[in-house]
Each structure stands twice: as C-alpha cells, then as structure tokens.
Amino acid sequence: MNPLTLEWVEKAEGDFKTAQRELRARNSPNYDAVCFHAQQTAEKYLKALLQEAGQNIPKTHNLNDLLALCLKQDPSLAFLNPDLSILEGYAVRFHYPGESAEKSEARAAFKSVQAIRSFIQNQLGL
C-alpha cells in the first residue's frame, strides 16, 4: 500500500474512533461531533482510494465530488451513494449555532459510515 494511502486511512480511523466514542458517551455526548467525524471518516477513506489509485487529491469536503472521481476508477462504488448522501452536509451543517444533531441522526450517520468504512477497507485490502 502506498504510504500516503496509509496516512489517509490512519486519519480516517482517528475520526471514526472519535465518532464512536462520542456516540457511546454516557455523559454529555456530542451528537454534532458524531455527525462531523462520520463525514470526515468517509471523506478520508474516499481520498485514500484516490491516493491508492495515483489520483490527485482535491481539497474538498464534498463527498459527491469525491465519489464521482472514485467511480472513474471503480464503478462498483456507486452503491455507496445513499450512505454518502446521508453524510454529505455534516462537514459544516452543525458548525454554527441554530442547528444541532439529534441522537437518531448521529446513529444514522454512524451506521452509514460503518458500511462505507467496511467496504473501502476491503477494497484496500485492510
């Protein structure tokens, strides 16, 4: 595996573990953080796929754009679109006052990223 791919995977795993910790927290869980870190996990795993394929990594948080680039390499990734769509806005959605994630939303985000993570890890041979 390309060393830079491994760095993307390590960063993705850090986000995944943070989302998981917050979702499991008994005292004052931060559901906004679960959604944000779930989105970040998906983003970094998509970038890992691009890195491993030798593609340029765009500086974007847009999961749909990243998926479109990945689909050029592997059309089988199209089935990830529904899960990625759930996570799409979470890079910024809860960043500002006025809106907060609910527990059910955080659970759905985490469930989506678990599926994405599992599939991409398999694609990368992890």
Q: What is the mean pLDDT of residues 43-59?
A: 96
Please check the confidence at residue 6 and state whether its pLDDT lies above 90.
yes
Q: What is the pLDDT of residue 47?
A: 98
Q: What is the pLDDT of residue 10?
A: 98
Every domain of the chain and the residues it spans: 3-123
Please check the confidence at residue 95 and state whether its pLDDT lies above 90.
no
| Residue whose C-alpha is closest to residue 79's, from 111, 112, 54 | 112
Mean pLDDT (the chain, rounded) = 96
79's tokens: 């089935």
Residue 86 vs residues 59, 96, 105, 124: alpha-carbon distances, Å: 21, 19, 9, 23
Q: What is the pLDDT of residue 4?
A: 96
Q: What is the pLDDT of residue 121?
A: 97
Q: What is the pLDDT of residues 81-92, one digit of tens each?
A: 999 999 998 988
Neighbours of 76 (CB within 10 A): 11
Q: What is the pLDDT of residue 91?
A: 87
Q: What's this model's pTM, rounded to 2 decimal places?
A: 0.95
Please check the confidence at residue 104 and state whether its pLDDT lies above 90.
yes
Q: How far apart are CA 125 and CA 1, in angstroms?
A: 9
Q: How far apart are CA 87 and CA 10, in angstroms?
A: 20
How is domain 3-123 classified at the CATH fold level?
Four Helix Bundle (Hemerythrin (Met), subunit A) (1.20.120)
